[in-house]
Amino acid sequence: MLDGKTKTGPMVEVVNVTCGYGNTVVLENVSFSVARGEVFFVVGRSGCGKSTLLRNMIGLQDPRAGEIRFDGQTLSGGGQRERRKLLRRMGILYQSSALWSTMTVGENVALPLEEHTRLTRAEMRELVAMKLGMVGLAGVEGVYPEALSGGMRKRAALARALILDPEILFFDEPSAGLDPVSARNLDRLILQTRESLGTTIVVVSHDLESICTVADRVVMLGRDEKTLIATGRPRDLAGESENPHVREFFQGTMTQKAKEV
């Protein structure tokens, strides 16, 4: 995906973004960047605007103000063709997994190939099998989603998100609805994906265990402030943030982790 060239600069830039619905402003003047190959978390308490920001970042909604750039290109600044090209470079794992119940796992995973490529059926089947193998689901192409556990559905959805070899992956509350073991297995899979493919990963989550063990860096959104209130490494924020709400949030993360060691 790098076309033989070493790229520099951030993979994602959120620049003075304001977003909301109708007459309601959810977030104002939010700015941060995500480095290439980074596992980056957007965190905060319920109602702080994490999901709204994600919708803006993946192109489901345009910011009211500001810009969101991918590899230096503005998602909302070009025409539909340029926008489509940018979106093709992304993979998205939705909170609900968003697998079509009337289609087999293999058919679900193949959907982006049918939409964006001209591969033959045989070539599609080969790629689907490869991606399912990467996420530990080899041989389930003919199974329907309802026959899978929650953790397996998440992995199938991840295989679909990876099918076009995206440069950046977005995860919306990936551990939601999972038992602790399945959630930690998914954490390991996120790290393996970054290590094996060099993918930049952005995760929206409230899972304290994931935040502590997976994130390279985080931004925290404030529900009352309606903007970014902290950025950095979770461990640093737990001990060094001047905001008592930020320290409390991340100290809880560290304390929970320490009890499990």
Which residue in 242, 239, 235, 226 sits closest to 257, CA to CA?
235
Q: What is the pLDDT of residue 17?
A: 97
Average pLDDT over residues 4-26: 86
Task: Identify residue 146 by its one-letter amino acid code.
Answer: E
Task: Identify residue 86 by its one-letter amino acid code.
Answer: L
| Residue that has been written with the tokens 């551990």 in this structure | 175
Per-residue pLDDT reduced to its tens digit, 205-244: 988 888 988 999 999 999 999 999 999 998 899 888 889 8
| Residue that has been written with the tokens 């905060």 in this structure | 44
Q: What is the pLDDT of residue 240?
A: 85
Q: Can you list the positions of beta strands (E) in 105-198? A: 168-172
Task: Tell me what percent of the chain is helix, strand and coil, each rounded to the nearest 5.
Answer: 40, 25, 35
Q: Can you give the residue ranges of every domain in the chain?
A: 12-260
SS3 of residue 64 by DSSP: coil
**Residues 145, 151, 156: CA angle, nearest 5 degrees:** 50
Lowest pLDDT segment from 47-56, 97-106, 161-170, 171-180: 171-180
Write phi, then psi, for 62 (nearest 5 degrees): -90, 145
CATH, range 12-260: 3.40.50.300
Q: Can you list the positions of beta strands (E) in 137-199? A: 168-172
Per cent of the chain over pLDDT 70 is: 93
Judged against a pLDDT cut of 70, whether residue 77 lies above it is answered with no
Contact 49, 64 (CB under 8 A): no
Per-residue pLDDT reduced to its tens digit, 101-137: 999 999 999 999 998 899 999 999 999 999 999 999 9
Q: Can you list the positions of beta strands (E) in the chain? A: 12-21, 24-34, 39-43, 65-70, 73-74, 90-93, 168-172, 200-204, 217-222, 227-232
Per-residue pLDDT reduced to its tens digit, 133-173: 999 999 999 999 999 999 999 999 999 999 999 999 999 99
Separation of alpha carbons 182 and 158, rounded Å: 14
State the pTM of this model. 0.88
Question: DSSP letter at 157?
Answer: H
SS3 of residue 155 by DSSP: helix
Per cent of the chain over pLDDT 90 is: 66
Separation of alpha carbons 62 and 76, rounded Å: 7
Q: Can you list the positions of beta strands (E) in 35-186? A: 39-43, 65-70, 73-74, 90-93, 168-172
**End-to-end CA separation in angstroms for the chain:** 39
What is the largest distance, in Å, between two alpha-carbon atoms of the chain? 57
